[in-house]
Structures are given as C-alpha cells and as structure tokens.
Amino acid sequence: MIWLISTLLCKWQHNWENEATESHYRTIQRNVSTKIKFLHPSRHKNVVLTRLRLGKCCLNVYLHQIGKHSNGLL
C-alpha cells in the first residue's frame, strides 16, 4: 500500500512540474503533498486563505484576468 501512495505522489509531482497552467501557485508551492495547508474552525477563513494562496480571489488583478475589471488597478 505504501508503494502505491509513493508511486501516485511521484506521478502527481511529475505532472505538477510539467503542467503549463497554475504557474503562480507553483512558484510558492514547489512540491505536492497530501498535508493540509491550513485548517481553521471557520470555513469562511479557510476559503479566503485558500483563494488568496491560489490567486483566485476578488482582487482587481484577478478580476481583470477574467474580464470583470477594466485595468486590474484601482
């Protein structure tokens, strides 16, 4: 069973390193892991922190990337 988990993690790491998308998150998270990154009793705080870490939040830069803000600045 341990060899299966190890094999899956190696494949996942290989895919992670060679994927063309999500380069922003890859710059701060080099290695894949099954470890929970952050856990707080408040689901809202978990969601906000996860969105910030992934760069998928309602900041102007992200809104500009998805076509919902004119220039990504103020």
In this prediction, residue 10 carries a pLDDT of 92
Q: What is the pLDDT of residues 24-39, one digit of tens each?
A: 777 777 888 888 777 8
pTM for this structure? 0.52
Total residues belonging to the chain: 74
23: its two tokens: 């380069």
Regions of the chain short of the pLDDT cut 70: 22
Give the chain as a 3 state SS string: CHHHHHHHHHHHHHHHHHCCCCHHHHHHCCCCCCCCCCCCCCHHHHHHHHHHHHCCCCCHHHHHHCCCCCCCCC
